[in-house]
């Protein structure tokens, strides 16, 4: 009886030990897994923190610089260009007394706009040279020379006006200049100059056309575009002169849009 009890006790003990060992193993594995999970989570948080610290802060993009506002065009400078055109028209009509009067006014306008012209000594020197030439050509009633020099005055002024704020774009004045150039070189039968003027007319018109259209000038823009094409197709001095008159008339209409 004691032997049997001992046997049963030992077997029971063995089972218990076996079960206990198995449970301990499971428990150990569970503890190990838990520890690994904890370590992994800790490492992940650490990596995330390190990543956040390592990432540079993204600064907001700087605001674009404000557009530079042009100064209003000086009236005295505009007067110089107007008097140049007046001299052109007077010489074309053979009104030499009027041409002389406008030249005097041109000289006065240049004096009062001295500060403006001094910003561009090269242009100022050109204007002074043209005024000296006009003094001579008007005195001699030299039509062609007077018209050419007077028109160059309007060109220089249109170039200077481009750096100022104007009601009418400076390019419109340039188109006016080109129209007069077609008259001058058509009369002189200078085909090379006529082609050169036609190219400048196209370039200037392509630049200012969007502004004309944006001022309710779709119809006028269409007419002027057709005139430019006609000038580009012209082959004779007579056709250039005829188109020059139409160009000048149409420029007057473009000016009124602004």
pLDDT digits (tens, 9 = 90+) for 152-211: 999 999 999 988 999 999 999 999 999 999 999 999 999 999 999 999 999 999 999 999
Using an 8 Å Cβ cutoff, are 208 and 196 in contact?
Answer: no
In the prediction, which pLDDT does 253 show? Answer: 97
Reply yes or no on whether the pLDDT at 24 is more than 80: no
Which tokens in the block code for residue 135?
A: 């003094």
Question: For tokens 């030990």, what's the residue?
Answer: 17
Burial pattern 15-24, b for ≥16 Cβ within 10 A else e, equals eeeeeeeeee
What pLDDT shows up at residue 26? Answer: 31
Whether residue 148 contacts residue 129, with contact meaning beta carbons closer than 8 Å, is answered with no
Q: pTM of this prediction?
A: 0.72
| Cβ within 8 Å of residue 254, ≥6 positions away | 172, 175, 212, 217, 220, 224
70's torsion region: left (phi>0), alpha (psi -120 to 50) or beta?
beta
Residue 44 reports pLDDT greater than 50: no
pLDDT in the model for residue 163: 87
Question: Would the pLDDT of 33 be above 60?
Answer: no
CA distance 16 to 5: 16
Query: What are the tens digits of pLDDT across the range 65-113?
Result: 444 578 888 899 999 999 999 999 999 999 999 999 999 999 999 998 8
User: What pLDDT, on a 0 to 100 scale, did the predictor assign at position 68?
Assistant: 59
User: Rounded to whole angstroms, what are the CA distances from 161 to 69, 129, 165?
Assistant: 14, 19, 8
Whole-number Å distance between alpha carbons of 87 and 91: 6
């Amino acid at each position: 009886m004691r032997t049997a009890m001992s046997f049963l006790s030992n077997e029971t003990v063995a089972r218990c030990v076996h079960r206990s060992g198995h449970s301990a193993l499971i428990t150990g594995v569970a503890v190990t897994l838990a520890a690994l999970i904890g370590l992994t989570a800790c490492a992940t948080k650490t990596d995330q923190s390190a990543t956040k610290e390592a990432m540079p802060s993204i600064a907001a993009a700087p605001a674009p610089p404000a557009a530079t506002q042009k100064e209003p065009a000086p009236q005295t400078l505009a007067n110089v260009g107007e008097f140049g055109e007046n001299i052109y028209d007077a010489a074309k009509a053979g009104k030499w007394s009027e041409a002389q009067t406008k030249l005097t006014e041109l000289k006065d306008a240049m004096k009062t706009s001295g500060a403006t012209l001094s910003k561009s000594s090269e242009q100022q020197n050109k204007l002074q040279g043209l005024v000296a030439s006009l003094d001579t050509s008007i005195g001699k009633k030299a039509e062609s020379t007077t018209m050419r020099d007077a028109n160059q005055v309007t060109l220089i002024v249109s170039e200077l006006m481009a750096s100022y704020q104007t009601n009418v774009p400076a390019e419109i004045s340039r188109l006016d200049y080109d129209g007069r150039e077609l008259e001058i070189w058509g009369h002189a039968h200078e085909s090379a100059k006529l082609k050169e003027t036609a190219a400048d007319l196209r370039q200037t018109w392509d630049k200012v056309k969007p502004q004309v259209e944006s001022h309710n000038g779709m119809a006028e823009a269409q007419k002027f575009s057709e005139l430019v094409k006609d000038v580009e197709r012209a082959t004779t001095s007579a056709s250039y002169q005829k188109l020059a008159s139409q160009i000048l008339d149409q420029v007057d209409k473009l000016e009124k849009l602004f």
